[in-house]
């Protein structure tokens, strides 16, 4: 199969012929239909996060089951599925206490003594986030996917595999935003726009989108933002404070920088909660004013929207099919696998919501 392989970091992807093994007892072979380009992949391409190379990147995807292992009963060949990087074992402390998104069990990966799932010339090739979506096929653990209705277009379904689940889940699961609340979202890329939609679906009364690009702010309004703040034009914290008369109850950071995490915290009213969703690079330190904690302000992280993806993702599919969750508007470009590096260069310019690789 053809796949986009990262051979060194920082470095661009190389389209390479990669061998894929047959499914083990608890594994599923998927023919990839679509894969979104996410900032998380870009962090490893740019070397902001360390990467074990060679590795097939990509983690936001959907496809059709090609073959299953002997112990798999959840899906069968021909089923349409969404993948998720929150691969769960189902038996560790995190899983049995209702936090499967925190599972780190080695059971979902092959042992080093076993044949690798992917290889080139007999040498192992890694799978980013246990998936490796930038490939014509994916060989994954059965707990890395969820079955969805055939009515769901797979190029839109792919977005649910990461960005949509991360953004909506941060609102619904991590922060539990109630109806009538005031919300600010910093960063209007794929995850931030999903946060905005989550706040809208939750019934937030005030949803303030903060970004530096006018096109993204315009799209944020289409997806539910009641107000927009141009962060390039001045003090965004002061503007949010003025708009709300003292700050928001909930703020979400969807970029992945220490300074924007600090902005989210500083936009809070007394008793407010800031949720950091973005991947802040190693070495960056978030600095907060100590006296603010005497105002009962809270800052927290969110991993993949604190998801229970086999429950959450089918619900998000239903919301899309009902016309309540907007995904069509979030696809800014459809590209081929050969155009993946151009897609990431466009993403570096920060002027897209989501580019999606479409496989034949």
Checking if the pLDDT of 360 tops 80, the result is: no
Q: At 92, phi and psi to the nearest 5?
A: -80, 175
Beta bridge partner(s), residue 55: 6, 126
Q: How many domains does the chain have?
A: 2
pLDDT, tens only, 140-154: 999 999 999 999 999
Say if residue 144 is in the same domain as residue 16.
yes
- Domain range for residue 223? 176-301
Q: How far is CA 215 from CA 3, 86, 225, 241, 343, in A?
A: 32, 32, 13, 23, 18
Say if residue 67 is in the same domain as residue 209.
no
Say if residue 242 is in the same domain as residue 295.
yes
Q: What is the CATH number of the domain that holds 272?
A: 3.40.50.720
Residue where one domain finishes, among candidates 253, 274, 301: 301
Checking if the pLDDT of 253 tops 80, the result is: yes
Say if residue 317 is in the same domain as residue 332.
yes
Say if residue 248 is in the same domain as residue 352.
no
What order do you get walking across the sheet with 268-276 strand by strand? 227-230, 206-211, 182-186, 248-253, 268-276, 298-301
Checking if the pLDDT of 348 tops 90, the result is: no
DSSP assignment string, 152-201: S-HHHHHHIIIIIHHHHHIIIIIS-PPTT-EEEEE--SHHHHHHHHHHHH
Say if residue 312 is in the same domain as residue 296.
no
Mean pLDDT value across the chain: 96
* Residue 123 within any structural domain of the chain: yes
Say if residue 7 is in the same domain as residue 156.
yes
> Taking a C-beta distance cutoff of 8 angstroms, is the pair 258, 286 a contact?
yes
* Residue 254 within any structural domain of the chain: yes
Say if residue 273 is in the same domain as residue 350.
no
* Residue 82 within any structural domain of the chain: yes
Lowest mean pLDDT among 104-113, 143-152, 190-199, 264-273: 104-113
Say if residue 143 is in the same domain as residue 190.
no
* Residue 167 within any structural domain of the chain: no
How far apart CA 39 and CA 350 sit, in angstroms, is 10
> Taking a C-beta distance cutoff of 8 angstroms, is the pair 166, 312 a contact?
no
pTM of the model: 0.95
Checking if the pLDDT of 335 tops 70, the result is: yes
* CA dihedral (78, 55, 334, 231) positive or negative: positive
pLDDT, tens only, 50-87: 889 999 999 999 999 999 999 999 999 999 999 999 99
Written as six digits, the tokens of 208 are 């303030």
Say if residue 116 is in the same domain as residue 232.
no
* Residue 98 within any structural domain of the chain: yes
* Residue 169 within any structural domain of the chain: no
Say if residue 115 is in the same domain as residue 211.
no
Q: What is the CATH number of the domain that holds 25?
A: 3.90.180.10
Say if residue 59 is in the same domain as residue 111.
yes
**Which pLDDT does position 352 carry in this prediction?**
67
* Residue 139 within any structural domain of the chain: yes
Residue where one domain finishes, among candidates 301, 318, 350: 301
Residue where one domain finishes, among candidates 301, 321, 346: 301
* Residue 166 within any structural domain of the chain: no
């Amino acid at each position: 199969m053809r796949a986009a392989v990262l051979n060194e970091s920082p470095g661009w992807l190389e389209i390479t012929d990669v061998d894929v093994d047959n499914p083990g007892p608890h594994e599923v072979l998927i023919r990839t239909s679509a894969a979104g380009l996410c900032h998380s992949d870009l962090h490893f391409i740019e070397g902001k996060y360390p990467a074990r190379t060679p590795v097939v990147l990509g983690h936001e995807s959907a496809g059709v089951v090609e073959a299953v292992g002997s112990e798999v009963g959840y899906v069968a060949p021909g089923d349409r599925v969404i993948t998720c990087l929150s691969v769960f074992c189902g038996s560790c402390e995190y899983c049995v206490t209702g936090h499967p998104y925190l599972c780190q069990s080695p059971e979902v990966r092959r042992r080093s003594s076993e044949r690798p799932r992917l290889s080139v010339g007999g040498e192992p090739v890694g799978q980013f986030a246990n998936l490796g979506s930038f490939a014509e096929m994916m060989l994954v653990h059965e707990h890395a996917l969820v079955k969805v209705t055939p009515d769901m277009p797979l190029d839109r379904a792919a977005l649910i595999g990461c960005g949509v689940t991360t953004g909506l889940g941060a609102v619904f699961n991590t922060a539990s935003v109630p109806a009538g609340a005031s919300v600010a979202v910093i960063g209007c890329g794929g995850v931030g726009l999903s946060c905005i939609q989550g706040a809208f679906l939750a019934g937030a009364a005030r949803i303030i989108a903060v970004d530096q690009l006018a096109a993204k702010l315009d799209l944020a309004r289409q997806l539910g933002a009641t107000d927009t703040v141009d962060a390039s034009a001045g003090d965004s914290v002061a503007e949010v404070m003025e708009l709300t008369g003292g700050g928001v109850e909930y703020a979400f950071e969807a970029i992945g920088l220490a300074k924007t995490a600090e902005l989210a915290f500083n936009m809070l009213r007394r008793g407010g909660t800031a949720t950091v969703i973005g991947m802040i690079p190693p070495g960056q330190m978030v600095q907060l004013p100590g006296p603010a904690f005497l105002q009962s302000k809270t800052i927290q992280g969110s991993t993949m929207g604190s998801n229970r993806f086999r429950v959450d993702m089918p619900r998000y599919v239903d919301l899309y099919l009902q016309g309540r969750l907007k995904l069509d508007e979030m696809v800014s470009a459809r590209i081929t696998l050969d155009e993946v590096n151009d897609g990431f260069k466009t993403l570096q310019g920060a002027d897209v919501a989501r580019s999606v690789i479409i496989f034949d």
